[in-house]
Amino acid sequence: MMPHPLASCAITGPLPQRMQAVSDRLNKSRVKGLWRSLAHCVALCLLAGCEPQGREAQYKRYLVRLGHTLSVNIPVIQQSALPGPPGTDQLHLDIPDSNLDTLDLLALSGCAVQSTIGKRNSSLGRTARDAQRLLLVLEYLHLAPRCITYQRERGATPLADALARAWQLQHRQLPALIFNATLGGAEYRALWHTPAYTPGESDSATSSSQVISALQAVNGDVRRWLAGDYRADNRAFEILLSEVAAGDGGALLQALASQDAWLAGADAIIAKRMKQGPLCTPGIRPAAADILPGVIHKYFITEIQAGTADLDRRYRTLLPPVKALETLLSSALPPDYRNWESERNARLTKLVAAPGWHVQLLKTIQQPCVSEASQAESIAAF
C-alpha cells in the first residue's frame, strides 16, 4: 500500500503554534493582496477618467498648479450669480381698457372688426394672457380703419368717432402691450431662469440657434408693428414665445459668474506673487520661471481657454437680440426693469472681460523672465 503523499511531511513543535503561524502568514498574504487589488482599481479608475470632470475640476487643477509653481496659497473662491429680472407681477404694466365694450356690435354689421371686438368683450377676452391681448389689439389696429371709413361714408359719425378714439388709444398703448407680452412676460422671464447649481456643469448649456432665431423673429415682428404694419400670425407668435422660454440666458449668466470667480482666484495668486517682486531679476532665474509656461499651456490654454471662448461666443450671440428689443421698447420699460437691465449690463461687461484681464496678468508676471523673441512667441500663444 502506497503511503499518503503527506505522510513524509514531518511536523515539529507544538501543533497549535504551527497552525497559528500558518494562519498569520495567510492573513498577511490576504491583506497584501487586498492592497494590491485596491491600488490596481485606483489606477484603472484614474486611467478611465474617474477623477472629477467638468469646468470646475479644470479650474481647481489650474489653481493648484499655479499656486504650487508660484509658492502661493490658493484663495477661497467666492461664487456669485447675477440676479434674474424682477418677477412678472412686479414688471406688469397696467393698461386701461378702451371703450369698445360700450359699442353696439349689431351696428358694426358688415365690418370684419366686429368679430375682433366680440372676442375682446367676451369673458375669455377679458381674462386673456398678455400675449393674447396684444394679438387682439393688433387685429383691431389692422381692421378698424376700414370700418371707420365705412361708418363715416354711411353717416354713422358717432360710431366712427368711437372706433377712431379706441384706435388712437390702443396705438399709444402698443409699446406697453408688447412689453407685457415679451420682456415683461413669463417666457422672457424663463429665458433668464437660473438652473440649480451642479459642480462642473454650470456652463454646460448652449445657446440654441432656435432660441436666437426666435428672439430675432420676435424683434422683426415688433419692428413691423411699431412701424404701422399690424399683421400678426397668432399661432406663430405664440410658438416663438415658447421657444424663447427654452433659452439658457440664466445658465449663461451663472457660468460667466462662476468663470469670473475662478479667474479672480487665479488673478489673486499672481498678484500676491508679484507683490513679492519680479519673478526673475538680473542673474537670478528661479525654477518657477521655467515651470510656469508649461502650467499655463497645459492647464489654462489647453483645458480652459476653449471654454472661455465658448462662453464669450454665447454671450455675444444671445445678448444683442435682447438688447435690440429693449431699445425698441425703451419708452415703455418700467423702472424696475431699467434697474435690472443697467445692473445686468454693468456686471456682464466685467464678467466677459475676466479672461482677457487674466491673460494680461500672465504676460506681466512672465515679462521679466523672457527675451523679446520669447515674449512675442509667448504672447502669440494666447
**In 3D, which of 56, 74, 76, 75 has the Cα closest to residue 65?**
74
344 to each of 83, 246, 320, how far by Cα in Å?
8, 20, 13
Last residue of a domain, one of 192, 218, 245: 245
HEC readout, 132-152: HHHHHHHHHHHHHHHHHHHHH
**Cα–Cα dist 46/191, whole Å:** 38
Tell me whether residue 38 is in a domain: no
What's the CA gap between 136 and 366, in Å, rounded? 64
Shared domain check, 338 and 260? yes
325 with 282, same domain: the answer is yes
201 domain-assigned: no
Instruction: Let me know whether 253 and 343 are in one domain.
Output: yes
276 in any annotated domain: yes
Task: Out of 82-86, 145-149, 229-233, pick the least confident.
Answer: 82-86
Output the pTM of the full model: 0.79
Contacts with 19 (C-beta within 8 Å, 6 or more apart), sequence order: none
**One domain for residues 340 and 271:** yes
Last residue of a domain, one of 198, 230, 245: 245
Residues 291 and 322 in one domain: yes
Q: Could you give phi then psi for residue 303, rounded to 5 degrees?
A: -90, -35
Q: Write the pLDDT tens digit of every residue in 119-171.
A: 888 877 777 899 999 999 999 999 999 999 999 999 999 999 999 999 999 99
Per-residue confidence (pLDDT) for residue 43, from 0 to 100:
37
Inform me whether the pLDDT recorded for 328 exceeds 80: yes
Q: What is the 3-state secondary structure (H, E, C) of 174-203?
A: HHHHHHHHCCCCHHHHHHCCCCCCCCCCCC
